[in-house]
Amino acid sequence: MTSCSSYCFVILLVLCRGYTSNTLYANACFTSIISFGDSLADTGNLKQIASETDKVISYFLPPYGETFFHQPTGRCSDGRLIIDLLAESLGLPLIPPFVRSDDVVELGQGVNYAVAGATALDSPFLEAKGVYNSMTNASLRVQLAWFKQSLPSLCGEIRDCKHLIGSSLILMGEIGGNDYNVPFFAGKSIDEVESYVPLVIDTIISAINELIEMGARTLVVPGNLPIGCTSAYLALFGSQKEKYDPTTDCLIRYNEIAEYHNELLQTELMMIQELHPNVIIIYADYYNAVMQIYRSPHKFGFTNGALKACCGGGGPFNYNSSMKCGLAYATVCDQPDTYVNWDGVHLTEAAYKHIFKGLFQGPYTTPQFNSLCPTSTSSTEEILSRSIIVELKALQ
């Protein structure tokens, strides 16, 4: 990653030239957030797409959204997601979905292209493998195409676009989880799904390179979560034949897929960083940020544990693929904030809060996000010194 000494030199150079406060962004770091990804970041795109096709999806029914919004919003949780918490911490509005009934998109508000169920790989590739995604075909390439399509309405001239993109925080995912979820749920073997990992990483890296060419200067790239700890995987794939992590009771072989994904991703990100020293690429270690909770759920206030879903169709992990959360006969717990898992696949707002703190206010990003942009109340001098770094990148 870029060395601290180079940052210090740039900051001193700007201060000597008389840096003025009117060049700071409104929130001292970024003008907006541009997001891509799947259900971990979708703030309503799939909900709008489904409404146009009369497709009924359980994610858009109560009790989704009950904790914070008090109604379903298209978020796959009982409340806010990591992207919502990040936006709030930066003093930005909640990021609206790209697919909207009013067709009005303003970069000043931020734009979210993430779609629940999305894969990094294109649908035709997966279909050739006998894997069909019934949720959506809005792959990462499709989302990137939406972004390019919307640029004229976002910023007008190409020069303005480069500046606006450069002053925005690009959130690349999480993406890739469904490239493994969909095949696994379709009955594919671990060996076959493992063979997809390098292709998934290549797709993500290709999108990052395109965004850098378009002017991106600060990107947060999350790794995958430990899928072997989810209620759905434990219910569907758990057996006496499987090996379990003694510290978490998670499925080891499935978590190894996520670990393999994350290792390859970090290797590729380091290579991009070397090629683009003026770009800040932040790896967000979602895996270990949540693994600390799985290891000690009671320490974080999850008195009902980490492995059983709050909302679901019964069984030891409260997950039943035929009685998903939101559908008839599914039940919901009284205190979601005491559960890590919400619906078998997604997490509760309470869990996302702890993950957010570990990532954006703690040690689980490389380089540490909070050293580049404060996400809590800081002195004017501290905000100035940290935001200079980001401002300079946008001007280069």
DSSP per residue, 214-260: TT--EEEEE----GGGSHHHHHHH--TTS-B-TTT--BHHHHHHHHH
Of the candidates 236, 248, 353, the residue with the CA atom closest to the CA atom of residue 306: 248
Residue given tokens 């790989």 in the structure block? 121
Distance CA 153, CA 161 (A): 10
Helix segments in the chain, DSSP class H: 4-16, 45-53, 82-89, 123-128, 140-155, 158-166, 177-185, 190-194, 197-213, 231-237, 252-275, 286-295, 349-360, 369-372, 380-395
Examine the residue annotation and report whether 160 is marked as an active-site residue of this protein.
no
Residue given tokens 């409404």 in the structure block? 51
The catalytic position among 337, 343, 354, 387 is: 343
Of the candidates 289, 328, 335, the residue with the CA atom closest to the CA atom of residue 312: 328
Distance CA 107, CA 203 (A): 25
DSSP per residue, 61-126: STTTTTTTTSS--S-SSSS--HHHHHHHHTT-PPPPBSS-TT----GGG-EE---TT--SS-HHHH
Examine the residue annotation and report whether 343 is marked as an active-site residue of this protein.
yes
- Assess contact for 97 and 44: CB atoms under 8 A: yes
- Assess contact for 78 and 66: CB atoms under 8 A: yes
The catalytic position among 84, 89, 285, 346 is: 346
The catalytic position among 32, 35, 39, 139 is: 39
- Assess contact for 289 and 355: CB atoms under 8 A: yes
Kindly list the catalytic residues: 39, 343, 346
